[in-house]
């Protein structure tokens, strides 16, 4: 039954049935918040987040990332490498100001776009890799785990430290983390709010390789993408989505339920007080 469902989903595979009106990618195409560079020789697209100071996932950046992922996939690039134009931060995670004393309708839009971003990256039909050239806490880590391969530079941290500011992650976020790490490690790390150093992340398997520079990280990501050269791209896409089906099934079945649960929790005094203290702490660090 699953195989039949996947074969039926051929109609939804973006590289095949994308709108013909989509423009071709040009080298160095830039939306302002994201930059796409395509290697003419390899056909691999590098998607860089470019929102100073720390690539916070604002509504606008998430919209741009989704559009860029779709463009890269629809233009039949051989692979996608996600990275940052900032040499210190991959992504600092969600824009927490959107969660503090939020406008309710905007909060719903914000969380829905975050769901969309994760789905776009997690189910992307072409090979994906993250060149993590800076800190990747919280949603920055979740985006990295949505990719198929992760290469990280030394002396940075990665992890989901949501409990430190009283946030309760959605189950699909936990499953994204758990698709990379064993459940026992995920449970402990989430409860502790742990941020792994580069070396710790390598030892537990949260990342696949360490690189000495961004250039090396991009080359290692490209080498990983090259390992699929002999695979039929359609069969590879279907196989990837079959492997990842259990990660997305619950969210796709009840996105509205996830949204309600998230909005309800964000509006609790427990979270609002915890987030307020966390934001004050961030101001003091500046």
The per-residue pLDDT string of the chain (286 residues; one tens digit each, 9 = 90 and over) reads 444 444 444 444 444 435 433 444 555 556 689 999 999 999 999 999 999 999 999 999 999 999 999 999 999 899 999 999 999 999 999 999 999 999 999 999 999 999 999 999 999 999 999 999 999 999 999 999 999 999 999 999 999 999 999 999 999 999 999 999 999 999 999 999 999 999 999 999 999 999 999 999 999 999 999 999 999 999 999 999 999 999 999 899 999 999 999 999 999 999 999 999 999 888 777 6
- What CA–CA distances, in Å, run from 264 to 58, 104, 261? 20, 10, 5
Give the domain range for residue 232. 32-285
In a domain, 90, yes or no: yes
Residue 14 falls within a domain, yes or no?
no
Residue 25, domain member (yes or no): no
- What's residue 14's pLDDT? 47
Output the pLDDT for position 13. Answer: 42
Question: CA nearest 179: which of 217, 218, 205?
Answer: 205
In a domain, 3, yes or no: no
CA dihedral 96, 192, 113, 87 (to 10 degrees): 70
Residues 34/25, Cβ–Cβ less than 8 Å: no
CA separation, residue 1 to residues 6, 8, 123, 138, 231 (Å): 9, 10, 20, 36, 24
CA dist 224 and 151 (Å) reads: 10
Q: Are strands 34-38 and 29-30 parallel, antiparallel or unpaired?
A: antiparallel
Count of structural domains within the chain: 1
16 within a domain of the structure (yes/no): no
Output the domain CATH number for residue 139: 3.90.226.10
- Block residue for tokens 């991959």: 90
Q: Which helix (H) or strand (E) holds 45?
A: strand 44-49
Domain presence at residue 12: no
Where would I find the H helices in 180-268?
183-192, 198-204, 214-226, 233-243, 245-253, 255-266
Q: Is the residue at 19 inside a domain?
A: no
Q: Is residue 5 in a domain?
A: no
Q: What is the pTM of this model?
A: 0.91
Which residue, chain included where needed, has tokens 């009840």?
254
φ/ψ region of 191 (left if φ > 0, alpha if ψ in -120 to 50, else beta) reads alpha
Cβ–Cβ under 8 Å, residues 83 and 44: no
């Amino acid at each position: 039954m699953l195989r039949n469902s996947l074969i039926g989903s051929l109609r939804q595979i973006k590289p095949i049935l994308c709108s013909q009106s989509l423009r071709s990618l040009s080298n160095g195409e830039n939306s302002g918040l994201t930059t796409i560079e395509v290697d003419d020789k390899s056909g691999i697209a590098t998607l860089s987040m470019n929102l100073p100071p720390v690539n916070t996932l604002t509504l606008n950046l998430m919209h741009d990332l989704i559009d860029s992922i779709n463009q890269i996939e629809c233009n039949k690039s051989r692979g996608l490498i996600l990275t940052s134009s900032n040499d210190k931060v991959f992504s600092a995670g969600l824009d927490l100001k959107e969660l503090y004393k939020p406008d309710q309708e905007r909060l719903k839009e914000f969380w829905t776009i975050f769901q969309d971003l994760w789905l776009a990256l997690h189910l992307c039909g072409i090979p994906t890799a993250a060149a993590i050239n800076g800190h990747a806490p919280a949603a920055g880590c979740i985006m990295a785990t949505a990719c198929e391969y992760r290469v990280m530079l030394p002396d940075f941290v990665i992890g989901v430290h949501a409990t430190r500011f009283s946030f309760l992650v959605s189950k699909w976020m936990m499953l994204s983390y758990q698709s990379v790490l064993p459940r026992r490690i995920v449970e402990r790390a989430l409860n502790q709010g742990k941020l792994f150093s580069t070396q710790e992340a390598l030892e537990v398997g949260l990342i696949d390789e360490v690189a000495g520079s961004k250039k090396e990280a991009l080359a290692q990501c490209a080498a990983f993408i090259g390992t699929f050269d002999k695979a039929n791209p359609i069969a590879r896409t279907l196989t990837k989505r079959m492997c990842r089906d259990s990660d997305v099934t619950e969210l796709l079945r009840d996105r509205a339920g996830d949204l309600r649960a998230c909005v309800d929790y964000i509006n609790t005094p427990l979270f609002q007080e915890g987030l307020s203290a966390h934001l004050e702490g961030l101001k003091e660090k500046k």
